[in-house]
Structures are given as structure tokens and as C-alpha cells.
């Protein structure tokens, strides 16, 4: 009986110590191993945020201010609450977009404004300020294009237009309404050769 306990007890102790060493090794391995990051999960949050974009020459081209921002690694996506985007391009009118929520992708070169959105293009040369109210407006900063497939209204001086879908090209200074267009156009009075307007 004594020989059995002298043989079994050390064996049990040896197994317990071996199990403990194995368990500690597993824990250490798991701690040392880098954890897999889910690219679709937020990795950064911010409040009262400012996002600046610069061109290749280091000149500021746009500023996006928001009450809250969330960054998601997938496609370098940023989500904004109460965003205000101001774009400035040399020799072109300033564009200001005020939204409820927005999302940027591809290093903030493309911005999608959800819900109610107001877009204003400053007066430029002989053109009055252009004000567009709509929703779900997509903005491509590089191509200088804003567009939507939703109902929009556009006001430019005394001229008013509305329709479903639009494309605003800031480079070409054109506004195209896609369908169901209604328009009130007030022509600019021309001056007659004698000086009287007609």
C-alpha cells in the first residue's frame, strides 16, 4: 500500500504542475498574440471635431466641422453628426453644405450628406448665390460635383426651380435638374442702346 501511494502521489503532483505550466503558457501566448481588429467596428470617437483637407501644394481646400465624429477603418470611413462643410477652390465660388448627418470615404474626398441638407454656392462673377435644399446629397470634392436622386429646390436670385434629382458641377458652373422640373425664371432686364431698360 505504501509503495502505491509513493508512486501515485508524485505522479498526480507532476500532472498538476504540468497542467498549470501548459495553462500559463496558453494565457501568455494569447496575451502576446495581436488581437484581430474588426475593420467594420469604430476605432475612434470625437466631439466638436474639425477635419481639414489640403491640396498637393499645402493650401487648405476644405474644412468640415461636426458635433460628433466616428472613424471606421473599413474604406477609411468617417461618420459625422451636424456637419458643416466649407469648400474653397481658387478662382471658384465658395460652397458651404450644412447637413444633419454625413459620411466620408476615400480619405474624405467623397462625402454623403443624409437627411435634410442645405447647399450654398456663393455669388460668382455675374451669378447670384445658388441655394439648394434637398436630402441625400453626394459630394465629390475632387471632381467638384454635388448630386442627388431626391427631390430638391434651387433658388438663384429671383429664379426658382424644383425637381427630382440634380447634378451641380462647380467646375463648369452648371446645374442640371433631372426630372419633374418646375421653374420660375425672371429674366435680367437689358439696357437699350439709349440707356432705358426693357
> Residue 97: pLDDT band by 50, 70, 90 thresholds?
very high
Q: Is 29 left (phi over 0), alpha (psi -120 to 50) or beta?
A: alpha
What is the distance between the alpha carbons of residues 51 and 79, in angstroms, rounded to a whole number? 12
Of these ranges, 4-8, 44-48, 75-79, 174-178, the one predicted with the greatest mean pLDDT is: 174-178
> Residue 45: pLDDT band by 50, 70, 90 thresholds?
confident
pLDDT tens digits for range 122-150: 998 888 899 999 999 999 888 889 999 99
Question: Average pLDDT, stretch 40-45?
Answer: 77
pLDDT of residue 16: 74
pLDDT tens digits for range 9-26: 666 766 776 777 777 677
CA angle 151, 105, 50 (to 5 degrees): 95
pLDDT of residue 165: 94
Mean pLDDT of the chain: 82
pLDDT tens digits for range 150-160: 999 999 989 99
pLDDT over 90 for what percent of the chain?
32
Hey, which residues does 152 pair with through a beta bridge? 163
Hey, which residues does 19 pair with through a beta bridge? none
Q: What share of residues in the chain are helix, strand, coil (percent, to 5)?
A: 15, 55, 30
Exposed/middle/buried for 180, CB within 10 Å: 0-12, 13-18, 19+? exposed
Predicted confidence (pLDDT) at residue 101 exceeds the cutoff of 90: yes
Which value, to the nearest 10 degrees, does the dihedral of the CA atoms of residues 49, 51, 52, 56 take?
Answer: 160
Q: Please give the helix or strand (H or E) that residue 8 lies within, else none.
A: helix 2-32
pLDDT of residue 4: 57
Q: Which three three-digit cell numbers place residue 96?
A: 458651404
Amino acid at each position: 500500500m505504501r509503495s502505491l501511494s509513493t508512486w501515485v502521489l508524485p505522479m498526480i503532483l507532476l500532472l498538476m504542475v504540468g497542467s498549470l505550466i501548459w495553462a500559463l503558457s496558453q494565457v501568455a501566448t494569447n496575451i502576446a498574440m495581436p488581437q484581430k481588429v474588426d475593420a467594420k467596428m469604430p476605432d475612434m470617437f470625437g466631439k466638436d471635431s474639425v477635419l481639414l483637407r489640403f491640396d498637393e501644394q499645402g493650401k487648405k481646400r476644405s474644412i468640415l466641422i461636426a458635433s460628433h465624429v466616428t472613424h471606421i477603418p473599413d474604406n477609411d470611413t468617417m461618420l459625422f453628426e451636424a456637419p458643416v462643410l466649407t469648400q474653397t477652390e481658387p478662382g471658384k465660388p465658395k460652397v458651404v453644405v450644412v447637413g444633419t448627418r454625413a459620411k466620408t470615404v476615400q480619405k474624405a474626398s467623397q462625402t454623403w450628406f443624409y437627411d435634410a441638407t442645405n447647399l450654398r454656392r456663393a455669388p460668382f462673377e455675374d451669378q447670384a448665390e445658388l441655394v439648394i435644399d434637398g436630402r441625400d446629397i453626394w459630394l465629390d470634392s475632387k471632381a467638384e460635383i454635388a448630386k442627388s436622386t431626391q427631390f430638391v429646390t434651387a433658388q438663384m436670385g429671383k429664379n426658382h426651380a424644383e425637381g427630382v434629382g440634380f447634378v451641380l458641377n462647380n467646375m463648369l458652373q452648371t446645374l442640371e435638374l433631372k426630372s419633374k422640373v418646375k421653374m420660375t425664371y425672371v429674366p435680367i432686364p437689358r439696357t437699350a442702346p439709349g440707356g432705358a431698360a426693357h
